[in-house]
Structure 1
């Protein structure tokens, strides 16, 4: 019995290669493609328990910390590398982290942000730094924070110096429901931050037993 794709239908690997932006020769040489079919099906999540933290490079550690505290209610957990300590640098570290040669880490700090993953802030000295990713760029292009009161959260963000792009919009399609909304904004140094809330059940819940992350109900 032929269990392969129908005649004229490209194999999933071929289809992904044709559609994916990394299929160009220059990119595909540096990013090895692994078939989704090759992932082990007997190891749910491959041992992954969840997202532990998100790293954000900022121009000034103290200013960024003050912004996250004022805008999002973050709390400082600890400094992995305090200002005034010798910077972390060198060829071995560059090979492990793949930052631009000639760069050095001047400071690192871990922040707690509500009930979700922590934020790890980095301050680098570097020969050059690109601006933060835009939504159309490859890679991680925004972080999203769940809020209970969208209007209050956006007002607080603006008061702290952030830029809110628009008024909140209803979540679409499989996420819509009364009160379910989102809004994009930007931190002073350019990182895109999405505010999201979904107090009502979402249509996708009728299609799967899986559920997206949501903070526990308040006492």
Structure 2
């Protein structure tokens, strides 16, 4: 625009280093992105075969921190008709260990260890319901190395992101935790081409 050219020309006379540079800005986020009375996702529930081992994996792979024990193995299991009705457990299922962990600037992880209930394998991406969580990473190579060193198994990649996310060095890769759960790593340092009618921008963890 003419006024931008005039502004840059004037800066050459008064600013150290010459004229300014123009940087694209992301659209402004709406203050509210959920209906009252909802705020945001507080935690994700993850059922694991061995809770201490799973917690060590999250600590070693991602630097997650244990906040507190919700239920220790020394306490009476959470079980019976009341628990079955409240939590949707099948008859005879017992919750024997629960722990809350924090993983960066995002929802907490609530880990469950279950006994005496029928369990299915970890879901695949094509299964219904929550299939994985995605972690934003600043260094894909370092994330991959930490994940594998902690016992995770990577799928093929890294690969470009899709559609409006496919720009420059943006990339992602999926892997499996030792008990089979899918976890995704993604990074989009080159931004996202939001459609003009996007109501807000994507939530991204703080650096």
TM-score, L = length of structure 2: 0.81
Equivalent residues in 2 for 1:1-219, closer than 5 Å: 44-204=34-194, 206-216=196-206, 218=207
**SS, match of residue 118 in structure 2:** coil
- Cα drift, residue 205 of structure 1: 5.3
Give 5+ residue unaligned stretches, structure 2: 1-32
**SS, match of residue 54 in structure 1:** strand
Distance 1:215 1:127, change over 3 A: closer
Distance 1:207 1:201, change over 3 A: farther
Alignment-derived partner of residue 22 in structure 2: none
Give 5+ residue unaligned stretches, structure 1: 1-42
Alignment-derived partner of residue 8 in structure 2: none
Contact 1:112–1:118, Cα closer than 8 Å, also in 2: yes
Detail structure 1 runs of 4+ shifted over 3 Å in the superposition.
none
Q: Between the two structures, name the one with larger relative contact order (CA 8 Å, sep ≥ 6).
A: 2
**SS, match of residue 126 in structure 2:** coil
Q: What are the Cα deviations for residues 156-188 of structure 1, in whole angstroms up to 9, with x where unaligned?
A: 101110000012111111112222111010000
TM-score, L = length of structure 1: 0.77
Aligned equivalents of 1:205 and 1:113: distance in 2? 30
Over the aligned positions, Cα root-mean-square deviation in angstroms equals 1.4
